[in-house]
Structure 1
Amino acid sequence: MREAARMVARIAVGRSLADELDRIAEEGSETPRSALIDLTHGTLRRYGRVQALVGELSRRGRPDALVEALLWCSLYALESGRYAEYTVVDQAVRACALLERWSAKGYVNALLRGFLRERASLEARIGADMEARYQHPRWWIEMLRDAYPERWEELLAAGNSHPPMCLRVNRRRAHLAEYHARLREQAIAARRIGEEALLLERPLPMERLPGFAQGEVSVQDAGAQRAARCLQLAEGQRVLDACAAPGGKTAHILETATVAMTALDADPARCVRMARNLERLGLTALIKPADCTRLDGWWDGVPFDRVLADVPCSASGVVRRHPDLKWLRRPRDVPAFAAKQAVILDALWQVLRRDGKLLYVTCSVFPQENEQLVGAFVSRAPGASRLPLPDGGPAQWLPSAEHDGFYCALIKKEA
C-alpha cells in the first residue's frame, strides 16, 4: 500500500504511470509488481470517485498529498472486493508509519471505517458529481458528449474497463491456425477476430505465450492491426513508418510484405527497443532516431511508395490501458496535438511519391484529431484525395470488448 500511494501521489502531480512503473522496476520493490499494478491502475480508473469519497468523508479538509493518495488506494481496494476489509484498513494504518505520517494514523483509520459504515448513503451524496460517476475529467466527458451524443456513456464505460489482449501471429514464422491450436493445447482460450488477430479470453504475461521469445507472435491490439492491411502493400515498395516506436506496426508491415522499410522515431532509446523487437521477429528495417518533420536530418530525397503516419495524439481511445492519461491531459492538449499532427502531415506529404498513398493513424476518438484534421489536410494539400479503406470498415473504430479506439484515413497523392 505504501509504494502504491507514493506512485499515485507522483502521478497526481504530473508523473506518468509508465515512468513510475519503470522506476519501480529499476529500484526494486518489496511489493509484487502485479499487486502494484492492480492498486495503481485500479485507483486511477476510479480516480474521480475516490477523490469525491475522500472529499465527502474528510472532516478536517484536504489531507497531506501522500495521505490523500494512500486513502485513494485504500478506498479502491475496499470497493474492489479483492481484499479483506480488515486487511485494507490495517495495511493503510501501517503505511502511515512507513510513509512517516505517524500523526495521520488515527485519521486514516477513522475515515476508512467511516466509509465502511456510510457506504450506502455515500452513493446519493456523490451521485451528482460527474467525475465521480463517470471516472473521467469533466471536460473529457463534455467533449465525448458533443462528439457522440448517442454513445458517449458507452465510450466512458469502455474507458473504465479492462483492455483486451490480442495477438498477431508472425506469418513468416508461424501459421495462424496452427498457432491457435497450440494455444488450445496449453489451455489458453482464444478466438480469431478478423484476418490475423487472436483475442485471448484472459490476458496473461507475454512470457507465457508459446513461441514469443522465438518471434512467432506479438501482442498488438486488433485495431492497430488494421494499419498494415489498409496500406495496400506490394513487394519491393519503399515504405516509411514516420512515428514508429514501439514498432508494432513496422513489424506487421514487414511480416506482410517484403518492402524496403525506413522507421523513424525522435527518441533514440525507443529506437533501440524497436530494433530489439524486430530482431526477435527476424525482421530488418532502416531505423533512424529522427524527427520526421525535419526532412534534412533523415531523408535522402528518394520518395516513398507508402507512408504510415501514426502520429502522436491524445490517446483518448486507449485510456483503459493507460488510466493516468485522462487525468494528466488538459483541454488545451487536444488542439495542441492537432496542430502538431497537421505539421507532421504537411512534412510527410513532401516525401510521398506521386500516385503513392499515406495512411494517417491515431489511437484517439476525438474528431479534432481525426476527421476534422484529415478533412482540412485534404482540402489544402496539392493532389490529395481521400480513398475508401480497403477493409471496408469505417475510419473511426470506437473502443469495444475486442479492440481499442483507432482511427485511420487513406490519402492518395494524385499523379
Structure 2
Amino acid sequence: MQYLWQHISNIIEAYKGDVPLTHFLKAYTKQYPILGSRDRRMLGMLAYSWYRCSKGLVRDGDPTFQQRMRECLVLCNAYTPLFDKMFSLVAPIDVPVGFDKELLFPHDIPLSEGITRGEWLAAMQVQPRLFIRIRRDKDGILALLDGKDISYEFITPTCLALPNGAAIDTLLPAESYVVQDASSQATGAYMRPMAGERWYDCCSGAGGKSLLLRDLCPGIDLTVSDKRRSILDNLEARFRQYGLRQPTVIVADAADRQQVDALAKGHPFDNILADVPCSGSGTWARTPEQLYYFDPAAVARFSQLQQAIATNVARYVKKGGRLVYITCSVFRQENEDVVKAITGATPLRVAEMRLINGIATGADSMFVAVLQ
C-alpha cells in the first residue's frame, strides 16, 4: 500500500484548487493505468476527507501526514476496512485529538436567515446524498433500483435520495430521470410556469433549471443564454436526450447591459430566471475543496456581478411579471443584500424569499427570491 501513500501525498501537494477536485483526480489517475478502480476510489475518499477536515484538526505535537489523514477519514465517517492495510504501519495516536469546525472557516461573513453557522460548518464533514428527479416511469425506476438492492428515500413524489456512488448511469433509462440536487428541485415550486408565457433563463449554464422549467410546463416559450458557447452546446444536447423542445439559445453575457438589450430586442418577458454565479457556499459539503481554498474577497466580487446581472435583466420583466433570483450561496451579501439592491434600483418588489436549507435531508442549500 506504500504506493497509495505516495499518490495521495502527490495529490495533496500538487492540487491548488484551480479546477474542481473531481476533474483533477480523474486527470491525475489517468496518468497511472496501474491504479485500479479500488485504488481510485480510495484516493478519492482520502482526498475529499482531507479537504473536509484537515484545517480543523487540533493536536499538540507534530503529527505525521499519515496520522492526520487517518483522523480526517474518521471525522468524515469515511474510514472503512479498505484502509486497514494502508494504515497498518502508521504509528498509533498517543495524544487526544481535537477538532474545531470554526477553523474550517475563520471568516466573519454573515449568513442568510434560515441557517446557522454551526449547522452549516458541521455539515462540511458529511458528503451530501445523490438525488434524482424522476421524469417518467416511476414504477420502472423503482423496480430497477429494487432489483439491484439500491436503497432510496422519497423526498417528494418525484425526488429520490440515493447513496453516493450508486451505479445508476447504466441501470436507469437516461430519459427517465435527471440528476439534480433536492434543493435545486425545490426551486421549481417558486417558478410556477404557465403555457404560453415567455420565459428567459439568463444564466442557464448546462440547463438544470431550464430542463426543470420545460418539464414543469412544456408549453412555455423559453429563451436561454450564457456567455459560454460550449456549455450551451451541453444544454442543447441534454434537451435532445430528454426529447424536449429546444429553447431559443443565445450566447450572451447577462452582466453586459448592451448584450441583454440586443437579446431582448425591446420585448419584455413574462418571467425571468436568474440563477446567478455565486460563491457556491451552499454546496461546499459536496465540493469541500472550495471551502479549503476560499478567498473571502470573492463574495464582494460575486455580489457586484449578481447585482449587475439582475438589474440588467429586470428591465425586461413585463409589468406584473416576475424575476426569480436564485443562488447556491448561504451568504447574506449574495442573497438578501442583492435582493435589496434590486428592489432599490428597479420597480420590482419581493413577493417571496427564503433560504432552502438542505442540511437535514443531506442536500445542498439554496436561496430563492421571487420579485414581482
Per the TM superposition, whether the score is higher than 0.5 is: yes
TM-score of the two chains, using structure 2 as the length reference? 0.84
Deviations 1:119-141 (A, max 9, x none): xx242xxx4x74xx4561311xx
Contact 2:250 2:263 in 1 (8 A): no
**2:87 equivalent to 1:88:** yes
Shift of 1:265: 2.0
C-alpha distance in 1, partners of 2:33/2:263? 44
What displacement does 1:36 show?
2.8
Once residues 53 and 185 of structure 2 are traced to their aligned partners in structure 1, the CA distance between those partners, rounded to angstroms, is: 30
| Distance verdict in 2 for CA 1:7–1:304, change over 3 Å | farther
Q: Distance in 1 between matches of 2:308 and 2:23?
A: 28
Question: How many residues in Structure 1 have an aligned counterpart in Structure 2?
Answer: 357
Q: Given that residues 243 and 265 in structure 1 are in contact (C-alpha distance below 8 angstroms), is that contact kept between their aligned partners in structure 2? A: yes
Displacement after TM superposition at 1:148 (Å): 6.8
- RMSD of aligned C-alpha atoms? 3.0
Identity of aligned residues (%): 21
Aligned to 1:20: 24
Q: Distance in 1 between matches of 2:134 and 2:239?
A: 14
Question: C-alpha displacement at 1:185, in angstroms?
Answer: 4.3
**Aligned match of 1:338:** 303
Q: Which secondary structure does the structure 1 equivalent of 2:361 belong to?
A: coil
CA distance in 2, matches of 1:71, 1:5: 13
Aligned runs of 1:63-74 on 2, under 5 Å?
Answer: 73=69
Structure 1 residue corresponding to 2:242, chosen from 281, 287, 294: 281
What is the SS of the residue equivalent to 2:291? helix
Q: 1:174-223, CA deviations, whole angstroms, 9 ceiling, x for partnerless residues?
A: 144554454334433223223421222565134144212xx110111111
- Name the CA distance, whole Å, in 2 between partners of 1:57 and 1:331: 29
SS at match of 1:249: helix
Q: What is the alpha-carbon distance in structure 2 between the residues aligned to residue 78 and residue 385 of structure 1?
A: 48
Is the Cα contact below 8 Å between 1:307 and 1:352 reproduced in 2? yes
Secondary structure in 1 aligned to 2:307?
helix
Matching residue of 2:54: 47
What is residue 207 of structure 1 aligned with on the other side?
169
| 277, 288, 311: which one aligns with 2:276 | 311
State which drifts further: 81-90 or 300-309: 81-90
Q: 1:6 to 1:29 in 2, by over 3 A?
A: farther
The alpha-carbon deviation at position 336 of structure 1 amounts to 1.5
Measured at CA, do residues 285 and 317 of structure 1 come closer, stay the same or move farther in structure 2, by a change above 3 Å? Answer: same
Q: Distance in 1 between matches of 2:32 and 2:355?
A: 43
1:66-118 alpha-carbon deviations (Å, 9 max, x no partner): xx6x776566457753244552366xxxxxxxxxxxxxxxxxxxxx52xx242
What displacement does 1:150 show?
Answer: 8.4
1:304 Cα shift? Answer: 1.7
Greater Cα radius of gyration, structure 1 or 2? 1
Once the two structures are superposed, residues 210-253 of structure 1 have per-residue CA deviations (whole angstroms, 9 ceiling, x without a partner) of: 212xx110111111012333112011222111111222111111
Contact between 1:163 and 1:320, CA under 8 Å: does it hold in 2?
yes
Pairwise CA distance, 1:316: 0.9
In 2, the alpha carbon distance for the partners of 1:198 and 1:41 equals 24
Which residue in 2 is equivalent to 1:94? none
Task: Determine which structure has greater relative contact order: mean sequence separation of CA pairs < 8 Å that are 6+ residues apart, divided by chain length.
Answer: 2
CA-to-aligned-CA distance 1:363-412 (integer Å, 9 cap, x gap):
1111111112212321221x2111136xxxx4443532242111100011
Residue 255 (structure 2) aligned to one of 272, 279, 293: 293
2: CA distance between counterparts of 1:373 and 1:55?
A: 46
Counterpart Cα distance in 2 of 1:234 and 1:13: 42
Measured after TM superposition, the shift of residue 254 of structure 1 is: 1.0
Code of the residue aligned with 2:21 in structure 1: it is L
State whether residues 199 and 271 of structure 2, in contact with CA within 8 Å, keep that contact through their aligned partners in structure 1: yes
Provide the rounded CA distance (Å) in 2 between the counterparts of 1:169 and 1:303.
Answer: 33
Q: Given residue 263 of structure 1, which amino acid in structure 2 is its aligned partner?
A: V
In 2: Cα distance, 1:395 partner to 1:86 partner: 44
Aligned to 2:14: 10
Q: What is the CA distance between 1:362 and its match in structure 2?
A: 0.6
What corresponds to 1:61 in structure 2?
A: none
Matched residue of 2:323: which SS? strand
Cα distance in 2 for partners of 1:13, 1:187 equals: 36
- Whole-Å separation in 2 of the counterparts to 1:370 and 1:256: 25
SS state at 1:57 partner: coil
Change (3 A) 1:380 1:13: closer
Q: What SS does structure 2 have at the residue aligned with 1:356?
A: strand
**Which amino acid is the alignment partner of residue 347 of structure 1?**
N
Partner of 1:184: 146
Q: CA deviation at 1:55?
A: 7.2
How big is the shift at 1:6? 2.7
Which residue of structure 2 aligns with residue 167 of structure 1? 132
Q: What's the counterpart of residue 272 of structure 1? A: 233
2:350, 2:371 within 8 Å by CA — same for their partners in 1?
Answer: yes
CA distance in 2, matches of 1:189, 1:150: 29
Q: Distance in 2 between matches of 1:25 and 1:267?
A: 28
Q: Which runs of 5+ in 2 are unaligned?
A: none
- Partner of 2:349, secondary structure, is strand
